[in-house]
C-alpha cells in the first residue's frame, strides 16, 4: 500500500512525465553568447545564402529578386530584428556550408536540417517549419520498392550534401549525387537512378508543375525514426557560424515570434501548404 508521501510522489510523476515521450530536437547552447554578430548585422547588413530550389528559394533571372517560402520567412524574421539591408548569394546546396564557413555568406537560409555531420561545423536556429521525406520512382514503381530496406542494391539519387544524402550513406546505400533539383528529377524520370529520396513538399510542387512527368511518390512507406530525429527530416531550420551566437539566438526568437503571430502559417499557405507543416505532429 502506498504511503501518503508515496501517493504524492506518484501523482507528481504522472504530472511531470508526459504520457507519450517526445524527443526534443534542439540543442541547448547558450554559453559565451556575447559576440557582436547581431549588432553587426543590424548596422552593416547581412548576406543570405540560397540554392535554386523552388518552392523554397530561388533568384528570379529577370528581376534578380530572391523569392520563395524560405526567403519570405527569413526576410520577415530579419525585418522583425531590424535588419533591413539583405543581400543574397546563390549556389548549389552542397556549397552553402563551405560558403558560410569562409564568410562569403552569414546565414544558410535555404532550409537546412540538423544532422550529426553538420552539427560538427555549424549552429542552427530554432525551428522554422516542417516537412517530411518521400521516396520517388518512375510511375508503377518498376523496382517494387516498398521500404527503406529495399534501397540497398538499387541506384539511389539525392542532392549532394543534403540530409537525404547523409542519411542514405549512414545506412549503407550507395548514392548517386545530383547538384540541382532539375537534374535529380530528370535522373529518376529517365531511369538513370531507380529512386530518389527527396522532400515531399518539393516533389509535390514539381509534379504539380510537370503533370506529364513519369514519376510518383511511393505510398505507405514507413519512415525510420532516425531519419526524422537524427539524420535530417526534423524541423527546417537555418544555419549560422558557431561564433555568431547573438545572431543565432536572435534569429531563433524571431522565428518563434513569427510562428506565434501566425506569420509562418500565412507564408506556408501562400505556397500551397497548411498548418500541418508547422510542427512534427500535424495541426489542422
Strands 66-67 and 58-59, how do they pair? Answer: antiparallel
Whether residue 124 has pLDDT greater than 50: yes
Cell of 196: 530518389
How much of the chain, in percent, has pLDDT values that exceed 90?
78
**Mean of pLDDT over the chain:** 88
Sheet of strand 107-112, all strands in order from the earlier edge strand to the far edge: 86-90, 46-50, 107-112, 237-240, 123-124
State the pLDDT at residue 30. 60
Q: How far apart are CA 283 and CA 273, in angstroms?
A: 12
Residues shown for the chain: 284
State the pLDDT at residue 283. 58
Tell me which fold the domain 133-229 belongs to: D-Maltodextrin-Binding Protein; domain 2 (3.40.190)
Domain residue ranges in the chain: 32-130+235-277, 133-229
Whether residue 20 has pLDDT greater than 80: no
Whether residue 1 has pLDDT greater than 60: no
Q: What is the pLDDT of residues 223-278, one digit of tens each?
A: 998 998 888 788 999 999 999 999 999 999 999 999 999 999 999 999 989 998 99
State the pLDDT at residue 282. 62
Q: What is the pLDDT of residues 155-171, one digit of tens each?
A: 999 999 999 999 999 99
State the pLDDT at residue 21. 44
pLDDT band, residue 9 (cuts 50/70/90): very low
Whether residue 193 has pLDDT greater than 80: yes
Phi-psi region of 151 (alpha: psi -120 to 50; beta: other; left: phi over 0): alpha
pLDDT band, residue 152 (cuts 50/70/90): very high
Whether residue 189 has pLDDT greater than 50: yes
pLDDT band, residue 59 (cuts 50/70/90): confident
State the pLDDT at residue 118. 94
Architecture of domain 32-130+235-277: 3-Layer(aba) Sandwich (3.40)
- Answering whether pTM is above 0.85, one says no
CATH fold match for the domains 32-130+235-277 and 133-229 = yes
Task: Give, in order, the Cα–Cα distances in Å from 210 to each of 61, 117, 186, 214, 215.
Answer: 20, 34, 11, 9, 10
Amino acid at each position: 500500500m502506498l504511503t501518503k508521501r508515496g501517493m504524492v510522489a506518484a501523482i507528481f510523476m504522472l504530472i511531470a512525465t508526459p504520457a507519450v515521450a517526445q524527443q526534443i530536437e534542439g540543442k541547448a547552447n547558450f554559453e559565451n553568447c556575447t559576440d557582436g554578430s547581431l549588432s553587426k548585422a543590424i548596422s552593416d547588413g547581412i548576406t543570405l545564402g540560397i540554392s535554386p530550389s523552388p518552392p523554397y528559394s530561388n533568384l528570379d533571372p529577370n528581376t534578380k529578386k530572391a523569392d520563395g517560402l524560405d526567403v519570405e520567412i527569413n526576410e520577415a524574421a530579419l525585418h522583425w530584428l531590424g535588419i533591413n539591408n539583405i543581400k543574397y548569394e546563390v549556389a548549389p546546396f552542397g556549397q552553402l556550408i563551405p560558403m558560410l564557413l569562409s564568410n562569403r555568406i552569414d546565414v544558410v537560409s535555404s532550409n537546412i536540417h540538423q544532422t550529426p555531420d553538420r552539427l560538427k561545423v555549424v549552429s542552427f536556429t530554432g525551428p522554422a517549419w516542417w516537412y517530411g521525406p518521400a521516396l520517388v520512382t518512375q510511375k508503377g514503381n518498376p523496382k517494387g520498392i516498398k521500404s527503406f530496406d529495399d534501397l540497398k542494391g538499387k541506384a539511389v539519387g539525392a542532392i549532394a550534401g543534403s540530409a537525404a544524402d547523409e542519411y542514405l550513406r549512414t545506412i549503407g546505400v550507395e548514392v548517386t549525387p545530383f547538384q540541382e533539383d532539375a537534374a535529380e528529377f530528370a535522373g529518376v524520370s529517365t531511369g538513370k537512378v531507380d529512386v530518389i529520396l527527396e522532400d515531399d513538399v518539393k516533389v509535390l510542387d514539381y509534379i504539380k508543375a510537370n503533370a506529364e512527368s513519369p514519376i510518383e511518390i511511393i505510398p505507405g512507406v514507413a519512415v525510420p525514426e532516425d531519419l526524422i530525429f537524427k539524420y535530417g527530416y526534423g524541423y527546417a531550420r537555418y544555419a549560422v557560424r558557431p561564433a555568431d551566437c547573438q545572431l543565432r539566438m536572435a534569429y531563433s526568437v524571431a522565428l518563434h515570434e513569427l510562428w506565434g503571430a501566425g506569420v509562418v502559417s500565412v507564408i506556408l499557405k501562400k505556397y500551397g501548404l497548411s498548418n500541418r507543416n508547422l510542427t512534427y505532429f500535424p495541426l489542422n
